[in-house]
Structure 1
Amino acid sequence: MKNKLADCLRPLLLGALLFTAAAGAEVRPLDRVAAIVDGDVIMQSQLEARLREVQQTIGRRGAALPPEHVLTQQVLERLIIENIQLQIGERSGIRIGDAELNEAMASIAQRNGLSLDQFRAALARDGLSYEDAREQVRREMIISRVRQRRVAERIQVSDQEVKNFLASDLGKLQLSEDLRLASILIPLPEGASSSAIQNAERQAREIHAQLRRGADFAQLAIARSADENALEGGEMGWRKAAQLPPPLDAMVSSLKVGEVTQPLRTPGGFILIKLLERRGGEGEQMLRQETRVRHILIKPSEIRSLEDSQRLAERLYQRIQNGEDFATLARQFSEDPGSALNGGDLNWVDPNALVPEFRSVMGNTPVGRLSRPFRSPFGWHILEVLDRRSVDSSDQFREQQALNALRGRKYDEELQTWLRQIRDEAYVEIKI
């Protein structure tokens, strides 16, 4: 349980604790500035607190720790990138209110099968205060929204791109399986000189050679990678092959579990990717349930109260029960302009597109039966279920998967470019 709770906050948004000056460890007499980042600072105590957290995480994985000076440099760089993004959020007016933050904390507790009080106690046993955890989540939410504004909202995927993707061999492969991946990135600045490119490629090939000799991928990622996921041992999580830029997508698809790609030049530098696990690949048919239904809607108004509307719906219900034609009464009385002229017929509908009250009554009414009058936010209804069917929605599902994959691919590329850009543009002075 302790390991689970220690890790439960980490994957929420960004995967790391965000200790800033406003909520850092308690002040110590020997605390000093570790780095100046634009208009803010990172304190030595913050760096040490994050370093301890990363060391504990690596220890729980059973991986060997890299030299402390190497790990310290990686951790400090992560703190700098996070600090820059938090400052962007502050300037952009991004705020996370207490009510929204409370909902997020309650959701985290619920996902771990705990009440909020139990969650507080579990955090305390794990050496974390609830207040620090709240600030951690607040910062992660801010950074996520900064990225949504600066990166995700700029990504556009056209209908033609989706069609081309679905028609491609890679698109078909992408829809068939999920891949759990890890990466190591040797970075290159924009406009890198030929000697810098050669040096980065040499480093990447040295790492690849070490991996072939049996070196631990996670340890090398922690020590050498400049990617966002370096301190997690390079773990990228589950991805579709098509979420990676070509030709990495095809290279990863051809890997066996445990294999690593050759170093490949990307816009961000030289990258190596390891395939940790595969899943999926069945391509199951996706069925959606639809209902053919008709209804009569009676709305309250200035001249007809809610009670009067209910009484009219009851009278119409009795008239239908007594043999009068549903469609005729719908044309005469229903106040749903979209269906009244069609005798109240809504045609085939997806239950998920309906308000909960209508969906519930419709789902509990047998085919060919009339419901008793019931109330929804629109007024009082009588409905009749005419038929039900299962519809193959595999095409729509595949299109959505393709859209998600293409957006994911563009997002990963754009995010790394943007992070490198904001780091290059920021004033950073290392003081240790």
Structure 2
Amino acid sequence: MRPSSPFVPVLFAVLLAVAACGRGGGSDRAPEPGDRSVAEVQGQTIWASDVKREAVAQGLVGEGEPLDVTSDLFRRVLDEVIDQKLLAREAERRGLDNSALAQRRLEATRERILGDMLVETVVNGSISDRAVETIYQEQVRLAQTSEEIRVRLILSRTKPEADAVIGILAQGAAFEAVAAESSIDDATRYSGGDLGYRTIDVMPEAYKNALRDRPAGSTVGPFQTEGGWAVLRVEDRRRETPPTLEQARPQIVRYLTYEGVRQLLEELRGKAEVEVLLPGDTPRSQEPASAPRPPAPSAGTSAAPASPRASPPPVAAAPAPKKTS
């Protein structure tokens, strides 16, 4: 016997919608080019695209990611889709789909599906590789790349201990070896105190002041931080490298999707007669409440602007600082 799916209780609320959408199914015609049938439930065909859509809805795979039909994940989601259809058929047999409450829920789900399809058709269909590359090139042109610094850290509890570290380094001891032996920062001591490359703007204030204008090869400190007394060695300085087009693509696509939906909803609200019947209601903001949120900024970038017209996401992002205490 096939094991019961752990998602059945969670999915039960949407089974009536599946039943409504699936009514009249069982066609042998593939819904998408290259699609293939993967199961049949009481004469109704389940297609690979049905399973992929469910996996995307659950956040198990991305919209553009492949889902191998031979994978364990595909089989698990297929089992859930089969369970959905079995429960939906049984709900229909019992006449649950005929109640007024069921009809309202089915209509609400139908509207959500149609809205998603409109976005897929009108908005997603207009996001071309050329549009993505145009925004990417413009952002690269406008980006003010910062200088990245690679430093090593030895953190001590007290200033006398940090002074002793300076003395040992002055005698020619390797910074990495002293860090491994003496540093109290467990996050970096086993890598020779290596903090990696980062821009000064994301560092704690004490580090910013100590490292500013210090050339590669210099030893800095000791100076006091929240976690103790720090001694740093500047390993390298270089200009920050922006991400490639492929690395930036997902964030740019999210921005273009957000802008497309915002403009579409703005246009639809402008044409429609909408009256909110709540007491003391204030005029709605310019941005439709159902518009998706703009893409979250990457680490080291500023937050999204408050204006309804979001700015394209910056393509250069600085790494977050490691904790040193």
- The TM-score range, normalised by the shorter chain, is 0.3 to 0.5
- The TM-score, its normalising length taken from structure 2, stands at 0.39
More helix by share: 1
More strand by share: 1
- The TM-score, its normalising length taken from structure 1, stands at 0.31
Identify the structure with bigger relative contact order (alpha carbons < 8 Å, sequence gap 6+): 1
